Amino acid sequence: MSRDLSNPGNTLELVRKNDFQFKKRYGQNFLVDRKVLTRIIEGAEIDKNDQVLEIGPGIGTLTAELCRASGSVKAVEIDRELIPILKQELSDYDNIDIINADIMELDLCGLFKGSYKVVANLPYYITTPIIMKLFESGADISSVTVMVQREVADRMQAKPGGKDYGVLTLSVSYFAEARIIANVPPNCFVPRPEVSSAVISLRRHERPPVQPKDPEFMFSVIRAAFAQRRKTLVNALSNAPTLGITKEAAASAIESLGLDARIRGERLSLFQFSELSDRLRELSQ
C-alpha cells in the first residue's frame, strides 16, 4: 500500500530514504497539503471517464489522487532520478503510465486517443512556455488545471488597464476561460518556495471568443503593443520592426475603432485587438 505523501513527514522520509537531492533547475517543490490536493481534483472536475496528463509528478503525491479519481493517467517527469520512486509509490495503480521526458519536446497530439485533461504543479521558471505549448499544440485538451506562481495566476485572469494585464492574459483568454480556484501558501510545499502559489483552472473555449482574419498577425500586434507598454499604442506599433506599420497607419487604424490615438495597448480588450489587427492587416496589403 502506498504511503500518504500529503503528510510532510512521509515525504521527507521518502526523500531521505532514496537519497534524493532537490534540483533547483527543475523547480522541484513537492505539495504536502491534503486540502489543496482535494481542491485540484475538484477544480479539474476529474471523474472515471477522464484521461489525464500530469506534468511534473515529482514523487507522485498528486498522481496517486489522479489515479484514484480518473480512468487513466500519463505522468511526464523530466528528472530520471524520480522515475524509480514514482514506480515504487504508484505500484498499487494499474491505470498509470510514467514517461521520462521533457514535456516541451513531447508530441501532445499522440498521447491519448480522444480528449484529455491536463493537471500539473508547474515549475515556475517554465510556466508560460508550457501553457502556450498545451494550447497551441493542436492536441484535444479540454481543460488545464495548474499550480503556478500567484502573480502568474493574477496575470492570466487580469482585466484591461491593470498592471498584470498583458500578452499572457490575452493569449490565455483567446484559448480558455481562466479562474483561480485556490490560493496556496509556501508552507504547503517541501521545500518551501519563496513565493505564494495559486491553482488556476483554464477551461478551453469550444471556439475562440474572437475570430481575427489572421490570428498569428493579431498576436504579433499584441506582442508589439506590450513590448513598450509605457508608450502609446501608436508609437509601440510603429516602432515594431516585424510589423512594418507607419505611425500614420497605426493612428488611422486605432481611430477607426473610435479610440483615442494616444491610448496605450494595456487599455484594449481581446476583441479590440482582434478588430485592430484586421484594420492594420488591410492597411498593410
Q: Angle formed by the axes of helices 247-256 and 270-284, to 10°?
A: 130
What lies within 8 Å, CB to CB, of 78 at 6+ separation is 26, 56, 100, 101, 102, 103
Q: Give the end-to-end CA distance of the chain in Å, rounded to a whole number.
A: 66
Query: What is the residue-wise DSSP string for 236-273?
Result: HHHT-TTT---HHHHHHHHHHTT--TT--GGG--HHHH
Residues 242 and 122 in one domain: no
Rounded Cα distance, 148 and 146, in Å: 6
Q: Before 191, cis peptide (omega within 30)?
A: yes
- What would the mean pLDDT of 199-217 be, rounded to a whole number? 96
Is 60 exceeded by the pLDDT of residue 1? no
Is 80 exceeded by the pLDDT of residue 14? yes
**Assigned domain for 271 exists:** yes
**Assigned domain for 210 exists:** no
Residue-level pLDDT at 4:
85
Among residues 175, 204, 233, the one where a domain terminates is: 204
pLDDT digits 0-9 by tens, 58-104:
999 999 999 999 999 999 999 999 999 999 999 999 999 999 999 99
Is 90 exceeded by the pLDDT of residue 228? no
- What would the mean pLDDT of 196-217 be, rounded to a whole number? 96
Query: For residue 40, what is the domain's CATH number?
Result: 3.40.50.150
Residue-level pLDDT at 285:
63
Rounded Cα distance, 197 and 183, in Å: 6
Residues 131 and 189 in one domain: yes
Per the structure, the count of domains in the chain is 2
* Domain housing 237: 215-284
Residues 95 and 184 in one domain: yes
Residues 64 and 195 in one domain: yes
**How much of the chain exceeds pLDDT 70, in percent?**
99
**Assigned domain for 163 exists:** yes
pLDDT digits 0-9 by tens, 149-173:
999 999 999 999 989 999 999 999 9
Rounded Cα distance, 156 and 174, in Å: 11
